[in-house]
Amino acid sequence: MRLGELDYDLPPELIAQEPAAERSAARLLVLDRANGAIRHDRIVALPATLRRGDLLVLNDTRVIPARVRGRRPTGGRVEVLVCEPVDEAGAVWAVLAKGAGRVGERVHFADGSGEWMRDLGEGRWQLRLDVGRPVMSWLENAGEVPLPPYIRRPEGPSRADLERYQTTFARVPGAVAAPTAGLHFTAALLAALEEAGVAHVFVTLHVGPGTFLPIRTDDLAGYRMMPERYVISERAGSAIERALREQRRVVAVGTTTVRALESAAARGDVLAGAGEADLFIQPGHEFRAVRAMLTNFHLPRTPLLAMVAALAGWQRVRAAYEEAVRARYRFYSYGDAMLIV
């Protein structure tokens, strides 16, 4: 498949700038990948939409306030997305930067500074942070919610984003973007699903640049994903393996959950454990763990859209996206969702 094929037309006004009034109020487009049938529903109706015996798998990573703003010695503005530590001491971090200087130059932040250590290209850097305390603690005061660039707020993130750009079950800090399909779930909805015979477990994948960086080669066969850290507990791994043995559906909530499960499954039969998900899932991929997926609508020409096309077939996915545009669904992080069954 070529990158140019992973495209569709989207009116800009359908890009959601705010979350729905209630988390579970989002609309839901249900796509049957066996025959391409489409129907319209609501997230709140999931207990009736899913099957008794399905196992829902969600990502419990917690978004950190990863975006910080600083100044070069010349006074120029710098914007940094602090992604993950690259040394055991936790002083040197992998970052994405706009307006970075050169190797060896200092950058000044609120209550701290840093030094550019290595230029990795395409805005990726290694940055030594001198903040006088653990970096995660510093970010809680100096950082802000890392909303994606298509959510355009001249004044920056609002106080409401502190809550809404975070799942209700977020537990393990480490993500620089939200696992957005999980944003639709509340404790009440999960309880209603349990009552309907749909159990759930959590895995952890810390969303990093690998999820949202654009593909820069037209030949998808040559694309390599940046790895993202994941952990699948013994409890979650056992529940998933049991569901697969009993031929019950494993329903992944979000592309990050899919990547964690399929990366683990590629290693062998035992899913539990920690690792790095660097699997680029594109059409032709043989799914070993995931049988159905709940996901938001994704940007054209992205690894996320390639994954959705791998599960349902690009022609059917494109038809579903065209229907979502016609029906005025809301797109991207704060938008509506699609369930592929």
Is the per-residue pLDDT at 169 higher than 90? yes
Q: What is the pLDDT of residues 282-312, one digit of tens each?
A: 999 999 999 999 999 999 999 999 999 999 9
DSSP conformational letter for 122 = T
User: What number is the average pLDDT over the span 44-60?
Assistant: 98
pLDDT of residue 153: 85
- pLDDT level of residue 211 (50, 70, 90 thresholds): confident
Strand partners, 341: none
pLDDT of residue 90: 85
Q: Are strands 337-340 and 292-296 parallel, antiparallel or unpaired?
A: antiparallel
The residue written with tokens 């507990």 in the block is 233
CA distance 258 to 264: 10
Strand partners, 340: 31, 293
- CA 141 vs. chain centroid, Å, equals 24
pLDDT of residue 32: 98
Compare 196 and 225 and report the one with higher pLDDT.
196
Of 210, 181, 177, 216, which is closest to residue 277 (Cα–Cα)? 210
CA distance 314 to 233: 33
- pLDDT level of residue 156 (50, 70, 90 thresholds): confident
CA distance 165 to 108: 27
DSSP for 84-113, please give it: EE-STTS-EEEEEEES---TT-EEEETTEE
Is the per-residue pLDDT at 49 higher than 90? yes
Tell me the residue length of the chain.
341
Secondary structure (3-state) at 166: coil
Q: What is the pLDDT of residues 102-140, one digit of tens each?
A: 999 999 998 899 999 999 988 999 999 999 999 999 999
CA distance 58 to 193: 13
CA distance 173 to 160: 19
- Global model pTM greater than 0.85: yes
pLDDT of residue 47: 98
Q: What is the pLDDT of residues 61-99, one digit of tens each?
A: 999 999 999 999 999 999 999 999 998 888 999 999 999
Sorted by sequence, the CB contacts under 8 Å of residue 119 that are 6+ apart come out as 100, 102, 103, 125
Of 290, 260, 259, 282, which is closest to residue 273 (Cα–Cα)? 260
pLDDT of residue 268: 84
Q: How far is CA 263 from CA 2, 255, 259, in A?
A: 23, 12, 6
All domains of the chain in start order, with CATH: 3-63+162-340 (3.40.1780.10), 67-142 (2.40.10.240)
Secondary structure (3-state) at 27: strand
pLDDT of residue 117: 97
- Looking at the chain, the number of H-run helices and the number of E-run strands are 9, 17
pLDDT of residue 244: 96
Q: What is the pLDDT of residues 228-269, one digit of tens each?
A: 999 999 999 999 999 999 999 999 999 999 999 999 999 888
Alpha-carbon torsion (245, 249, 253, 258), positive or negative = positive
107, two tokens = 């950058």
By the 8 A CB rule, do 213 and 243 touch?
no
In our burial notation (b when 16+ CB lie closer than 10 A, e otherwise), range 63-91 reads bbbbbbbbebeeeeebebbbbbebeeeeb
Strands lying side by side in the sheet with 228-232: 38-42, 27-31, 337-340, 292-296, 250-253, 55-59, 199-205, 228-232, 273-277
φ, ψ of residue 55 in degrees (nearest 5)? -115, 120
Output the 3-class SS for 55-79: EEEEECEEECCCEEEEECCCCCEEE
